[in-house]
């Protein structure tokens, strides 16, 4: 049975080899489906499985799986874990699971996996190979262009530095330092420009600081008479009010002091029904005594029995004016609004206001310059690359729009997300340098705005070679963690031909 089967298979196999795979000299002795790298295994009289088990060479491709690792059946589907190698001349070789051998589907582009005659597979390797080579050439062209752009940008920076080194500038010591250092020229250019701007800012800030001091003195000068005049006016007003309050106290006291002996007694207060605890019952001596007993000790001291104006003012006035407010002769404390300052004082206030505003504005100008300076200082510390290939991206932003948002990537600064429908832009992160060990192909933007009930937003920018700076897409693989892909000439390398062996074979 087995012998018969074998002979038929062998015949088909021989035919297939003759027609489909024009064997090259070096692969002559290779069994069907074996990879060229395994050629030595098939050279002797016996075949060794990977685990060391030895089998006769006749057991290779005999449609029976002898080796646990499936290595004895590269050209049949007998071993579930075997692998079939397609030569695919004209395109790339491929290694596939041997279950695909003679399964009626064309898997290898050279058709070598289907030799049973079940289906006829056309050889499409030439066509596929050409398309792949064309795609690789396009990719290579793009990389060449990108690298050329990178070189151009670097050279541009070099020329700029030469010009700026020759030009007289403030940074003498920096130029001396340059002449004796190995700082990359464009990096130096970038540094020098900023150092010069910082020096210019320092000068501006020096004169601004003088101005702030002058204005502060002027402010003090204007505020002194202002404060003095206001104090006089306020004191006058307070005295007037004090007199009016005293008058109200005294008039009320006099009204209650029926016999005019400068002392209030229980009998005098008993005349006023408003002082009753219970309106129905009317005012009683008990009510009056409770009112007079201001220290609540259950008895009336002399001061409590015979109430003087001062005692009245201190302890009784406020209650009595409240319950007897409507009564003629009872005068609550006046609450006149404070009148406006007179014209002279108003002029002094206006002068002081102007001096305060001028001082405040000069201070805020100074703060703006300080923040400019800080920004420049930060820029001095940017990592713009070994040959300063990222220098041209300083202060540049690159945009991308999707359906909902406009994204803005400002290199060395921040990444933002702005709703297209309108509204405030959200900061996804601020520049935190290139990821260490990434060869400047990944940049981190951290510490963005806080997510609702979550962490602060962050964004990683992944750079690949391209002819120009372009944001390709943006994704949010984890909540509030964004990934932005970008093409840039800055990461292009000198073009090297793609090694086909580097491609995955499985
Ligand atoms: Ca076998
Ligand atoms: Ca197949
Ligand atoms: Ca009296
Ligand atoms: Ca008492």
CA of 256 to the centre of ligand 4 (A): 20
Question: 310 or 15: which carries more pLDDT confidence?
Answer: 310
CA of 266 to the centre of ligand 3 (A): 9
The region of weakest confidence among 378-387, 399-408, 442-451 is 378-387
Give me the pLDDT at residue 295, please: 94
Checking if the pLDDT of 195 tops 50, the result is: yes
Checking if the pLDDT of 210 tops 80, the result is: yes
pLDDT tens-place string over residues 125-170: 999 999 999 999 988 888 899 999 999 888 876 666 555 444 444 4
CA of 21 to the centre of ligand 1 (A): 22
Backbone phi and psi for residue 307, each to the nearest 5 degrees, phi listed first: -80, 125
Query: What would the 3-class secondary structure string for 340-377 be?
Result: CCCHHHHHHHHHHHHHHHHHHHHHHHHHHHHHHHHHHH
Would you say 110 and 89 are in contact if contact means Cβ atoms under 8 Å apart?
yes
Give me the pLDDT at residue 178, please: 46
In percent, the amount of the chain with pLDDT more than 90 equals 69
Q: Quick one: average pLDDT of 221-232?
A: 97
Checking if the pLDDT of 506 tops 50, the result is: no
Quote the CA–CA distance of 204 and 74 in Å, as a whole number. Answer: 81
CA of 61 to the centre of ligand 1 (A): 5
CA of 275 to the centre of ligand 4 (A): 18
Instruction: Set out the domains of the chain in order of their start, with CATH numbers.
Output: 2-123 (no CATH), 221-323 (1.10.238), 395-494 (2.70.130.10)
Q: Quick one: average pLDDT of 10-38?
A: 58
Ligand closest to CA 308: 3
Checking if the pLDDT of 11 tops 50, the result is: no
SS3 273: helix
Give me the pLDDT at residue 160, please: 61
Give me the pLDDT at residue 496, please: 62
pLDDT mean across residues, the chain? 86
Sole residue written with tokens 């070096």: 26
Quote the CA–CA distance of 57 and 67 in Å, as a whole number. Answer: 12
Give me the pLDDT at residue 162, please: 56
Would you say 416 and 428 are in contact if contact means Cβ atoms under 8 Å apart?
yes
Give me the pLDDT at residue 491, please: 94
Ligand closest to CA 268: 3
Give me the pLDDT at residue 448, please: 96
Would you say 112 and 96 are in contact if contact means Cβ atoms under 8 Å apart?
no
CA of 63 to the centre of ligand 1 (A): 6
Quote the CA–CA distance of 315 and 303 in Å, as a whole number. Answer: 11
pLDDT tens-place string over residues 479-503: 999 999 999 999 998 866 544 444 4
Q: Quick one: average pLDDT of 307-328?
A: 95
Give me the pLDDT at residue 153, please: 86
Give me the pLDDT at residue 378, please: 77
Confidence of residue 415 (pLDDT cuts 50, 70, 90): very high
CA of 103 to the centre of ligand 2 (A): 5
Give me the pLDDT at residue 469, please: 95
- Cα angle for residues 259, 263, 267 (degrees, 5° grid): 65
Give me the pLDDT at residue 351, please: 97
CA of 36 to the centre of ligand 4 (A): 120
CA of 19 to the centre of ligand 1 (A): 24
In percent, the amount of the chain with pLDDT more than 70 equals 85
Checking if the pLDDT of 182 tops 80, the result is: no
pLDDT tens-place string over residues 455-478: 999 999 999 999 899 999 999 999
Tokens of 255: 């009204």
CA of 298 to the centre of ligand 3 (A): 23
Checking if the pLDDT of 4 tops 90, the result is: no
Tokens of 416: 């933002």
Give me the pLDDT at residue 284, please: 95
Q: Quick one: average pLDDT of 309-314?
A: 97
pLDDT tens-place string over residues 41-95: 888 889 988 888 899 999 999 999 999 999 999 999 999 999 999 999 999 999 9
Give me the pLDDT at residue 414, please: 95
- Cα angle for residues 145, 386, 201 (degrees, 5° grid): 110
Tokens of 461: 């920018």
Ligand closest to CA 102: 2
Sole residue written with tokens 């505003």: 357
Give me the pLDDT at residue 23, please: 37
SS3 472: strand
Give me the pLDDT at residue 191, please: 72
pLDDT tens-place string over residues 429-446: 999 999 999 999 999 999
Ligand closest to CA 61: 1
Give me the pLDDT at residue 51, please: 80
Q: Quick one: average pLDDT of 298-325?
A: 96
Ligand closest to CA 105: 2
């Amino acid at each position: 049975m087995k012998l018969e089967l074998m002979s038929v298979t062998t015949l088909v196999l021989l035919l297939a080899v003759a027609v489909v795979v024009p064997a090259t000299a070096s692969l002559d002795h290779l069994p069907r489906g074996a990879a060229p790298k395994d050629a030595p295994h098939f050279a002797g009289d016996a075949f060794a499985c990977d685990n060391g088990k030895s089998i006769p060479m006749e057991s290779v491709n005999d449609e029976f799986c002898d080796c646990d690792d499936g290595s004895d059946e590269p050209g049949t589907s007998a071993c579930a874990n075997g692998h079939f190698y397609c030569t695919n001349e004209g395109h790339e070789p491929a290694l596939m699971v041997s279950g695909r051998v003679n399964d009626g589907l064309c898997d290898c582009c050279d058709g070598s996996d289907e030799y049973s005659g079940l289906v006829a597979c056309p050889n499409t390797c030439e066509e596929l190979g050409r398309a792949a080579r064309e795609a690789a050439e396009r990719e290579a062209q793009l990389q060449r262009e990108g690298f050329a752009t990178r070189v151009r940008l670097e050279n541009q920076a070099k020329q700029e530095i030469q010009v700026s080194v020759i030009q007289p500038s403030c940074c003498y010591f920096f130029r001396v330092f340059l002449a004796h250092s190995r700082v990359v020229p464009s990096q130096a250019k970038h540094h020098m420009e900023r150092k010069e701007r910082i020096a210019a800012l320092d000068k501006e800030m020096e004169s601004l600081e003088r101005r702030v001091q002058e204005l502060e003195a002027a402010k003090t000068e204007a505020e002194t008479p202002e404060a003095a005049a206001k104090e006089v006016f306020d004191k006058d007003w307070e005295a007037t009010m004090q007199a009016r309050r005293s008058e109200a106290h005294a008039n009320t006291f006099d009204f209650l002091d029926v016999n005019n002996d400068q002392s209030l007694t229980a009998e005098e207060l008993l005349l006023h029904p408003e002082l009753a605890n219970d309106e129905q019952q009317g005012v009683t001596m008990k009510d009056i005594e409770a009112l007079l007993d201001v220290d609540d000790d259950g008895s009336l001291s002399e001061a409590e029995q015979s109430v003087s104006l001062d005692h009245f003012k201190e302890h009784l006035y406020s209650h009595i004016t409240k319950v007897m407010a409507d009564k003629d002769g009872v005068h609550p404390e006046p609450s006149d609004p404070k009148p406006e300052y007179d014209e002279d004082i108003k002029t002094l206030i206006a002068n002081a206001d102007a001096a305060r505003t001028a001082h405040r504005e000069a201070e805020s100008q100074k703060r703006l310059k300080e923040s400019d300076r800080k920004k420049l200082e930060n820029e001095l510390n940017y990592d713009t690359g070994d040959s300063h290939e990222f220098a041209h991206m300083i202060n540049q932003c690159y945009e991308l729009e999707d359906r909902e948002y406009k994204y803005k990537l400002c290199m060395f600064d921040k990444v933002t997300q702005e709703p297209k429908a309108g509204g405030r832009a959200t900061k996804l992160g601020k520049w935190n340098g290139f990821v260490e060990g990434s060869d400047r192909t990944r940049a981190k933007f951290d510490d963005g705005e806080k997510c609702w009930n979550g962490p602060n937003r962050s964004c990683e920018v992944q750079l690949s070679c391209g002819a120009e700076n372009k944001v390709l897409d943006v994704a949010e693989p984890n909540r509030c963690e964004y990934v932005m892909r970008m093409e840039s000439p800055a990461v292009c390398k000198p073009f090297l031909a793609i090694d086909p062996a580097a491609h995955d074979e499985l």
